[in-house]
Structure 1
């Protein structure tokens, strides 16, 4: 979705090439493209790590999800700057030769940037949840291996039977 919206935002930029406004800051950074690549690769690695839970896949998925969370934060910053600049640019639309086209372009750009901001915020939540689950899975499997009791007869006796025998003696 983010990639598709980035392509649509880019096509709008070339459609309105006569207007020299800063409505398409996010497209100039290329974020919809490289952000989408990071999100797709972290999702792919998460699926692979879920199907083949080898340590290397889990570590790679954890690292890529961490990178995606960082990229999502960068994207939120870019999109927030884009919205702030769009609001200022919309105020200056009245001084252009075609204020209606400028207002239309600014409104469409604000809508697209707002939708991207919502999608990237959701992606950040998903990525953080995945990081937490991978951390919990990696952390708990190593603890279970270390803290598992030895396989002996004494460990199978319930505690209340041990206490009652020691009290009878």
Structure 2
């Protein structure tokens, strides 16, 4: 005999997790519709994910998307580059002027070195070797490269200025020796007095300019070497911790609440 008692179905509570994170902008019991985007959180996340640019000398920020790293270079790089930019222009102009003076006085030395009949002219080993001309041309090239490097500041121009200033310093040292020889071997019998006097004066002037060129070329090469070597130093990379989570939920000051709902399903 079957019982007439109604069969009771056990009430089962099934909990379904909420796919949307809680937000302080939502009213109680309100569910955020699917596909909606919190524009404020996205904007804040994009701003925090972007690395901040640093404008101090020698410090640069990475601007490539997706990396999230800040690259920092030694601050001495900016100091060396600024020193080169300030000094190279003035020193380059001095070198150009010295080169032009060498070519001009070299032409005068060539004219007084000729002998006329039995009268000997000024004997110049510097003119025979062509020092006033190739030396002056080298000084002009060195000065031009230094001025160009101080304006554009490219690695190629800095290296070119460094190399040419080393060559110019060597040529200036050789020129000083040749001009000293010119001042010592002249003054013998049979030479024109005025030619010897003028030649020694011009040789002394060129020797002073050669000494000036030697020190200027050494100083310019020093600044160019500092600017070239400091830019090859290692770069310190600081990872950006905000890049791993570009979208961060807004903080909520409201107490936590349960947004779950239950479904009663009879067995």
TM-score, normalisation: structure 2: 0.48
> Which residue pairs with 2:104 in the alignment?
4
Seen in structure 2, the aligned counterparts of structure 1 residues 121 and 151 have a Cα distance that, compared at 3 Å, is farther
Structural RMSD (CA):
2.0
- Kindly indicate whether the alpha-carbon contact (under 8 Å) linking 1:72 and 1:120 is maintained by their aligned counterparts in 2: yes
1:70 to 2:170 alignment: yes
- Kindly indicate whether the alpha-carbon contact (under 8 Å) linking 1:46 and 1:58 is maintained by their aligned counterparts in 2: yes
> Which residue pairs with 1:165 in the alignment?
none
> Which residue pairs with 1:17 in the alignment?
116
> Which residue pairs with 1:128 in the alignment?
218
Larger helix share, 1 or 2: 1
1:137 to 2:236 alignment: no
Aligned equivalents of 1:106 and 1:22: distance in 2?
A: 5
Aligned equivalents of 1:151 and 1:121: distance in 2?
A: 52
Q: What does 1:42-81 correspond to in 2, within 5 Å?
A: 42-81=142-181
- Kindly indicate whether the alpha-carbon contact (under 8 Å) linking 1:38 and 1:68 is maintained by their aligned counterparts in 2: yes
Larger strand share, 1 or 2: 2
| Number of residue equivalences | 140
1:150 to 2:238 alignment: yes
Tell me which of 32, 36, 47 is aligned to 2:136: 36
> Which residue pairs with 1:119 in the alignment?
209
State the SS of the aligned residue for 1:150.
strand
Aligned equivalents of 1:151 and 1:12: distance in 2?
A: 72
- Kindly indicate whether the alpha-carbon contact (under 8 Å) linking 2:112 and 2:122 is maintained by their aligned counterparts in 1: no
Q: Which runs of 5+ in 2 are unaligned?
A: 1-100, 242-267
Flag the structure with larger Rg.
Answer: 2
- Offset at residue 151 of structure 1 (A): 6.4
Task: Select the structure with the greater relative contact order (CA < 8 A; seq sep ≥ 6).
Answer: 2
- Offset at residue 103 of structure 1 (A): 2.3
Aligned equivalents of 1:81 and 1:131: distance in 2?
A: 28
Please give the per-residue CA displacement for 1:63-112, whole angstroms capped at 9, x wherever unaligned. 111111111111111111111212xxx1x32xx3xxxx722221111100
Aligned equivalents of 2:113 and 2:193: distance in 1?
A: 14
